Amino acid sequence: MLTVLLILIPFIAGLIAFGLKGSGPKALAVISSLATVATAIGAWCRLGSAPDSLSFTANWIPQLGSQFRVGLDGMGMMLCLLTAIAFLLVFISIYNRNYESSNSFYGLMLLSQAGLTGVFTAYDALQFYIFWELALIPVYFLCSLWGGDKRIAVTFKFFVYTFLGSLLMLVGIIYLYTQNPDHSFSWESFTNLHLGADQQNWLFWLFFVAFAIKMPVFPFHTWQPDTYEQSPTPVTMILSGIMVKMGVFGVIRWLVPVLPEGAHMWTDVAIVLSIIGIIYASCIAMVQSDLKRLIAYSSIAHIGLMSAAIFSHTEQGMQGVLLQMFNHGINIIGLWIIVEIIQQRFHIKNMDELGGIAQKAPRMAIFLVIISLANIGLPLTNGFVGEFLMFSGLFQYNHWFMAVAGLGIILAAVYTLNMIQKVMFGNANALTETATDLQPSEMLALSLVVAIILVLGVYPKPILDLVSNTTAVVLKF
């Protein structure tokens, strides 16, 4: 029942938020996300002792054998926790901002939270598909209504890209269903299908393209930098912190277990595409002067590493990916919070016009440095553990792949440190002279981020233990 609550709380709060006025939606969003975090932690506590109590099944379309079926395993739990925390961080960090027609803004945000949680808890393929699409609709409206100047065209491109990917996945799901003697969409029956290798080979691409567009993996990434740049920053936080994890999640939950031979067949292709993505995105990030685009490209590089590590099919690699999904979500939201603050204060996001903020706002500078270092995986931060595990998994699969992917770390250090230097240090100009330091709500959100970074950097065991059962299950296939 707790799992259903995780979806229902933001859903109902979202519907109510549409009807509220003034600062009501804002307060409701914070309350709802606090309640969701509490529910998620409650579910985490019960996961070890009574995991069955977290699954819920109800008949939905008996003619098709489709059920409304939610449940939590380690990975699902971790992602629900991340979703709950991420939305809380977003809502706290933008508490001082006033959006035009804020009731719709917060309503749509909460609805997208419900959709995302639905994706991570679904154990029925048809239901998974429906939540997968539903999570996209509120985001489409959020980006198109509150985004930058080119928002309409850019968001539309994003929508069509992902919609096309999802439709291909739908064809795959229907095909699997017609091959299924049980007439069921359940995860268990899909993983028991054992289709022939020739079928798996082409089915792989129907699913992989859908997930690769979402992650995004090279060459399906072209929607991403534009969308991150044009979206309102709170939505970018959700897009980059959580929505891209839908793709990674899809590969681990559905693609690898359902089509193990297809995944095995195309492993090298998938890893090579991922590694091209890492190098390509890192190189572009180095020459970016737009702050939002830089972080967007760095995100492509990080996701590329995760995708490569999944296909290495090793225990370390998989554990690393699962841990890094959580860490990357937290870190990148931290980065976006600071970008949002800078954009609000100076109304520019070109790094060349910034500089010297550290003198005026030392706290902001400290936070940016810590979060950036975590993002490039410095030891004692959370990023290090995940990246280390992923590289070690990739190393076991193929030394050369690991060596090339490893270049990504160096490049990441180059562009990230360059970014810190340009934004925070150097001489202040007329604009940055006026900088003011963090406000309490921003301070609170960033402190939470840094606390998670440091705790998980030193002691990642809780998350690793949480996800270890998923790793064990996936590696069996």
Partner 1 sequence: MNALISTALSGVVLMFVGLFARKQTIKFFAIAAIIIAFIANLAQYPSVELGGYTMYGMIEVTKFSIIFNAVAIGSTLLYFLLSGSEFEKVGDHVADYFALVFFILAGISLAATFSNLLMLFLAIEIMSIPQYILAGSDKKNLKSNEAALKYFLMGCFSTGVLLMGITLIYGSAGTFEIASLGLGAENVSPLALCGTILVAFALAFKVSAVPFHFWTPDVYDGSPTVFTSFMATVVKAGGFIAFVRLFHVGFAGGEISSHWMLLLSIITALTLVLGNFTAVFQQSVKRMLAYSSIAQAGFMMFAVIAMNLAAAQGIVLYAAAYSIATIGIFAVLLRLKDYTFEGFNGLAKKEPLLAFAVTVFLFSLAGIPVTAGFFAKYFVLAAAIQQGHLLWLVILAVLCAAISVYYYFRVIMAMYFKQGDPQVEPVSGGFKAGLILTVILVLALGLFPNLLLGCL
Q: Using CB under 8 A as the criterion, which residues of the chain lie in contact with partner 1 when the complex forms?
A: 60-63, 129-130, 133-134, 137, 141, 144-145, 151-152, 156, 159-160, 163-164, 167-168, 170-171, 174-175, 177-178
Nearest distance, CB of residue 114 and partner 1, angstroms:
12
CB-nearer residue toward partner 1: 157 or 345: 157
| Amino acid letter, 453 | I
Token pair in block for residue 432: 């940055």
CB-nearer residue toward partner 1: 11 or 95: 11
Nearest distance, CB of residue 106 and partner 1, angstroms:
17
Nearest distance, CB of residue 164 and partner 1, angstroms:
4
| Amino acid letter, 369 | V
CB-nearer residue toward partner 1: 70 or 419: 70
Quick check: 63 and 452 in contact, CB under 8 A? no
CB-nearer residue toward partner 1: 163 or 477: 163
Token pair in block for residue 88: 């809380």
Cα distance between residue 186 and residue 263, in whole Å? 20
Quick check: 68 and 57 in contact, CB under 8 A? yes
CB-nearer residue toward partner 1: 127 or 470: 127
Nearest distance, CB of residue 153 and partner 1, angstroms:
9
Q: Which backbone phi and psi does 15 adopt, to 5 degrees? A: -65, -40
**Distance from the Cα of residue 213 to its chain's centroid:** 13
* 472 contact partners, CB below 8 Å, separation of at least 6: none
Nearest distance, CB of residue 353 and partner 1, angstroms:
29
CB-nearer residue toward partner 1: 124 or 387: 124
Nearest distance, CB of residue 262 and partner 1, angstroms:
16
Nearest distance, CB of residue 187 and partner 1, angstroms:
19
Cα distance between residue 10 and residue 13, in whole Å? 5
Cα distance between residue 428 and residue 440, in whole Å? 24
C-alpha to C-alpha distances, 448 to 201, 339, 365, 424, 444, nearest whole angstrom: 44, 17, 16, 21, 6
Nearest distance, CB of residue 62 and partner 1, angstroms:
6
Nearest distance, CB of residue 279 and partner 1, angstroms:
30
CB-nearer residue toward partner 1: 213 or 364: 213
Cα distance between residue 66 and residue 51, in whole Å? 22
Quick check: 109 and 138 in contact, CB under 8 A? yes
CB-nearer residue toward partner 1: 38 or 61: 61
CB-nearer residue toward partner 1: 103 or 288: 103
- DSSP secondary-structure letter at 53? G
CB-nearer residue toward partner 1: 108 or 467: 108
C-alpha to C-alpha distances, 436 to 41, 289, 428, 429, 431, nearest whole angstrom: 36, 23, 13, 14, 11
3-state SS of the chain: helix, strand, coil percent to 5? Answer: 80, 5, 20
Nearest distance, CB of residue 21 and partner 1, angstroms:
15
Neighbour-count burial for 193-220, b at 16+ CB within 10 Å, e otherwise: bebeeebbeebbbbbbbbbbbbbbbbeb
Cα distance between residue 182 and residue 213, in whole Å? 31
